[in-house]
Amino acid sequence: MSSYIDDVDRIDSIAGGEDWYMVRLVGNFPFVHAEVTNRKWIIEEGRHIGAKAIECQLETFLPLKLISSDGYWRIEPLGNSRSRIHYQTVVEVYAAGFEDLYTHIAKRDGKRILKNFKRYVESR
């Protein structure tokens, strides 16, 4: 994750099992210091991965609070050692009237992260 998410200071592995793991992402994003713990699990080996934010601490002067974040990765084999990765996330935040601004920022950052992820994968 640190190879394709900008502004990440560190990622800590917290716990894990046979088909799940928990990581804490710590970063300084524009106007926000965030520490988010995610639980990820394998839904179907080599095909689907789920992710859920289970704890979030935000330090910011903005009226912002993460209520929930759920995401899913689906890997579609294309043959010839190629795959297509589909990613969906649903994030619910308390934004005190700034929903349009935060939605715009989230969409822009999400697109940038996925472009970075594509470059990261293609460089392997």
Select from 3.30.530.20, 1.10.3720.10, 1.20.1740.10, 3.30.1340.30 the CATH code of 8-122: 3.30.530.20
Task: Convert the pLDDT of each residue in 86-111 to its tens digit.
Answer: 889 898 888 888 888 888 888 888 88
Do 1 and 11 meet the contact criterion of CB atoms below 8 Å apart? Answer: yes
Q: Is the pTM of this model over 0.85?
A: no
The domain spans of the chain are 8-122
Confidence grade of residue 79 (pLDDT, cut at 50, 70, 90)? confident
Q: What is the pLDDT of residue 100?
A: 86
Do 91 and 113 meet the contact criterion of CB atoms below 8 Å apart? Answer: no
Residue 1 pLDDT more than 80? no
Task: Convert the pLDDT of each residue in 13-39 to its tens digit.
Answer: 999 999 999 999 999 887 889 999 999
Q: What is the pLDDT of residue 15?
A: 94
Residue 43 pLDDT more than 80? yes
- Across all residues in the chain, what is the average pLDDT? 88
